Structure 1
Amino acid sequence: MSEKTPPPPAAAQLADDSTARNSLELVSSRASKSDAGVADVELGPDPDAAKPEAPAAAPGPPGAGDFPDGGAAAWLVVAGGWAALFCTFGLVNCVGVFEKYYVAEPLKEYSSSTVSWIPSVEIFMMVFCGTVFGRLFDNYGPRWILWGGTVTYVFGLMMTSLSTKYYQFFLSQSIVASLGSSAVFTCCMSSLVSWFSKRRAAAFGIMVSGSSVGGVVLPIMMTKLIDRIGFPWMMRSVAFLFLALLIFACLTVRSRLPPRPRPFSIMEYVHVLKDLRMVITVSGLFFFMWGMFMPFNYVLLQAQAANMSPTLIPYLLPILNAVSIFGRIIPGIVADKIGRYNVMIVITFISALFCLAVWTPVNNTAGILVFMIIFGFSSGGFISLGPTLIAQIVDIRQIGTSVGTALAIQSFGALTGSPIGGAIVAAQNGSFLGLQLFCGFAMLTGSLTFLVARYTQAGFKLVKV
């Protein structure tokens, strides 16, 4: 006889039915509470349930939280950029030495206005070619551009040491050397932007102070070496020094962001200028640079005309650049706290004011020294803050193209400013008054343009911009 499974006891059956009813009532009660809008933390989504995938958003530019704002790698970039700026813009700060030597020795048959085209085109090429090298930086990163720029720059300086004719100085110094210099400093500027956000202006100020230190050391060294070993060997000595420093820069400067290769399009440069803030800011950079290099180019010639002591004249540019060290670091630190546009407006206005109120009326040693000290401090911040203004209003992933576009436009100010000043001096029979007025009003226009750029972003509210 087969065994059959006995049916469950009645009590157990009743218990199961009761449990089922209670579960149904509990679910029903929770559902009604949920429908009534009552929050029930116990009824969250099942963690094991599959979640619907949200549509992928387009990647935006890196936020401030993505920037390390410090660390060994970031500060090595600052150190390498400092060495590079010592060699590149540090030499540009010595254009007065070249102007004085060329007019007195190998190019004495040319006017000072004609000779001034050599340093003017050099500055123009350095700044304008940032358009090309900035785009190459975005596409390929800084490594090979830095090495190629180093070789080209040192080669151009060596060729300058062999030059004796106007066209030779022009080709070697204004074209070849400036191309290499542009490649180096554009990579350093664009790389640094990718490492700092909150402390960006301070980091730029420290890096760009390398050019001021170069402006202190190089004029004294060059003047002494010209007297002792002659101009050719002076240039070779400077070239070897730069080679060592630039190798250090090549080994330390790199970008935090990976390169983004894309085909060349001229419209990308136009697209950058569709932003009204960018257009007004770049206009301010142009006007200020239109007048900025005139004191560097002509103060030594003015000092000679004012019968300043010959032993003091070689130290005028070092004095200007020594003060500029503090002018490049301190405004950057302050700008990170109260706003980069705010500080740029103040320092450019002070530069223009003292050019018109101090440089214009004086014609003696004391007055020239006072102007050099004040102008050195106030104008120093312009170089360090300029790129930070651009980085503040553009997509950081296209910083090379954006900074390159800004540099290209302001380079025309550097190209034409000093020759215009030289022509004014020649037209006024050696008087520097017209040059000083042109310089002051050009920089004042730049300061007012920065004020307009700030107004487009925050009006006249006392806020950090």
Structure 2
Amino acid sequence: MEPPAPLNANPPTEMYHVEKTAVLHAPDGPNIDSSISPDPDLNPELAMDLPPLDTSPRGWLTVVGGFACLFVSFGWATCIGVFQAYYTTHQLANYSTSAIGWIPSVETFFLFLGVPIFGGLFDHLGPTILLVIGTVLHVGGLLGLANCQTYVQIFFAQGVVSAMGTGAIFVAGTTAVGTWFRDRRGLALGLVSAGSAIGAVIGTAVIPVLFDGIGFPWTMRAVALTYFVLMIVAIATISRRPQAASHSPVPFHISQLVPVPLLKSGPVLALAIACFFYFFGVFIPYNFIVIEAQDDGDGERLANNLLVILSATSTVGRVMPGWLGDRYGRFNATIAFTLFSVVLALGLWIGAPWRTGRIAFAALYGFGSGTFVSMVPTLVAQICPDMSQLGTYLGAVYIVIAPSVLINQPIAGALAASGERDERDSYVWLKVFCGLVMFLGVLGFVAARAAYLGHSGKPWKWVKA
């Protein structure tokens, strides 16, 4: 019998299942003996004292806490359309759409920029400290936003302080869940990311009503109190799966807060570039579908209902791709759902620029685009060879994503302002831009899948991946 092949630090294929003989089979790759694997779960002797993967009650409790984390982080960020529309007619009515667009853009940018910073810290400190830091920043930022009146004040409280807190919360919630699951990781992270959809549904439906009923300051205080209670639940339930006693932790280096060297890996770089382009476009409808409806004559409440519909259908779009990905391949599911979103943007959103068309687009786009929250952490976990470094790998991908969400809304605002208001669809170039950059993201996911599988010359080759 030939000796086992050496383990590659960045294996090109996923280890799909563990046989009773403790030998792994990777499609199109070598058989890997568990005795030489750095993963203790692949060695029965090391795994005996560890909680089980996929079935541990502590793991499912972490899913509950992760749900709360996504509710208050991405759920809040997905409400950007509500604030874009509100600021345009209230505190910042004297500013252009593009200038106001910088606030949600910077907010999303700092959320994503926090991922590499807090991802490296997660690997060494665990989730609890990050959750406490995130709670202080996010809740404190919202309480400060309640008293803001000027552009600079709103920009700093909402776009910087609160956003950095959401970054810490997002990292702690998703990364901790990723350590507890393997075969059901897509489903688990899908359930976690459903928290962002529920948070967006409630936020987009309730916040405008509170604006009219109790005013902006007390609305922000009510949101801050709600998020504080949910973060108490998260802190009480989230834990990281213990590591084997024989596992030697990698010494912490400040460079892990900016994990650029990991981008030398082909699958990591390809996945990061794919996410850069897809995230460049995916948030645009969340922001501008409300403004488009208002410009077309819909009232503020009716226009905001589009965002409620979009957020509601994205609940299914968060969970289903992960569930399907566990069965048919997580890259495969991501490619299918992201391509569906592109078809909707370039087809339905452009082809039916009236009220009924916008309602149909909002419902279908929420379902298709929901994958952007759940599947990116799932794919990062799939290409990460060691779960003790999952936070750092997540940071390497999100450090590339961050610039795209910084500039996408101002660019979209400029494209929206450039349209002729007497045209059939003055937002058509914004929609074309949205669809094309997302399509580049789809091509990137295809390339990342090929790089991960190790047959980049045949990206169309079918295999569960």
Is the pair's TM-score, using the shorter chain for normalization, greater than 0.5? yes
* Superimposed CA distance per residue, residues 338-393 of structure 1 (whole angstroms, 9 cap, x where no aligned partner): 00000111111110111001101222100001111111001001210111111111
Counterpart position of 1:422: 413
**TM-score (ref. length: structure 2):** 0.85
**Matching residue within 173, 178, 185 for 2:170:** 185
Partner AA of 2:408 in structure 1? G
Partner AA of 2:363 in structure 1? I
Residue 463 (str. 1) matches residue 458 (str. 2): no
* Superimposed CA distance per residue, residues 314-357 of structure 1 (whole angstroms, 9 cap, x where no aligned partner): 21111101100111111111100000000111111110111001
Greater alpha carbon shift after TM alignment, 266-275 vs 143-152:
266-275
Residue 88 (str. 1) matches residue 73 (str. 2): yes
Deviation at 1:261, TM superposition (A): 6.1
Equivalent residues in 2 for 1:43-192, closer than 5 Å: 60-63=38-41, 68-192=53-177
Equivalent residues in 2 for 1:165-244, closer than 5 Å: 165-244=150-229
* Superimposed CA distance per residue, residues 96-126 of structure 1 (whole angstroms, 9 cap, x where no aligned partner): 1100111100001100110010011000000
Counterpart position of 1:450: 445
Query: 2:75 touches 2:199 (CA, 8 Å); kept in 1?
Result: yes
* Superimposed CA distance per residue, residues 400-436 of structure 1 (whole angstroms, 9 cap, x where no aligned partner): 1110111111111111111110011222345211110
SS in structure 2 at match of 1:230: helix
SS in structure 2 at match of 1:109: coil
Deviation at 1:461, TM superposition (A): 2.5
Counterpart position of 1:262: 251
The percent identity for this pair of structures is 36
**Partner Cα separation in structure 2 for residue 429 and residue 140 of structure 1:** 53
Residue 403 (str. 1) matches residue 381 (str. 2): no
**Matching residue within 328, 338, 341 for 1:351:** 341
Deviation at 1:312, TM superposition (A): 2.0
Deviation at 1:308, TM superposition (A): 2.6
Query: 1:306 touches 1:363 (CA, 8 Å); kept in 2?
Result: no
SS in structure 1 at match of 2:181: coil
Deviation at 1:70, TM superposition (A): 2.0
Query: 1:348 touches 1:379 (CA, 8 Å); kept in 2?
Result: yes
**CA 1:96/1:307 → structure 2, altered by over 3 Å: closer, same or farther?**
same
**Partner Cα separation in structure 1 for residue 382 and residue 306 of structure 2:** 35
Equivalent residues in 2 for 1:297-316, closer than 5 Å: 297-316=287-306
**Partner Cα separation in structure 1 for residue 188 and residue 341 of structure 2:** 22
CA RMSD, Structure 1 to Structure 2 (Å):
1.7
* Superimposed CA distance per residue, residues 175-205 of structure 1 (whole angstroms, 9 cap, x where no aligned partner): 1101111111111111111000000000000
Counterpart position of 1:366: 356
**Partner Cα separation in structure 2 for residue 403 and residue 342 of structure 1:** 20
**Partner Cα separation in structure 1 for residue 203 and residue 142 of structure 2:** 14
Query: 2:98 touches 2:413 (CA, 8 Å); kept in 1?
Result: yes
**Matching residue within 275, 289, 300 for 2:265:** 275
SS in structure 2 at match of 1:303: helix
Greater alpha carbon shift after TM alignment, 260-269 vs 222-231:
260-269
Partner AA of 1:417 in structure 2? N
**Partner Cα separation in structure 2 for residue 338 and residue 449 of structure 1:** 19
Counterpart position of 1:12: none
Larger Rg: 1
**Partner Cα separation in structure 2 for residue 158 and residue 429 of structure 1:** 40
Counterpart position of 2:327: 337
Query: 1:308 touches 1:364 (CA, 8 Å); kept in 2?
Result: no
Query: 1:352 touches 1:444 (CA, 8 Å); kept in 2?
Result: yes
Query: 2:66 touches 2:238 (CA, 8 Å); kept in 1?
Result: yes
Partner AA of 2:328 in structure 1? I
**Partner Cα separation in structure 1 for residue 269 and residue 40 of structure 2:** 23
**Partner Cα separation in structure 2 for residue 212 and residue 229 of structure 1:** 25
**Matching residue within 311, 331, 337 for 1:321:** 311
Query: 2:145 touches 2:153 (CA, 8 Å); kept in 1?
Result: yes
Aligned length: 409
**Partner Cα separation in structure 2 for residue 282 and residue 63 of structure 1:** 27
**TM-score (ref. length: structure 1):** 0.85
- Unaligned 5+ segments in structure 2 are 1-34
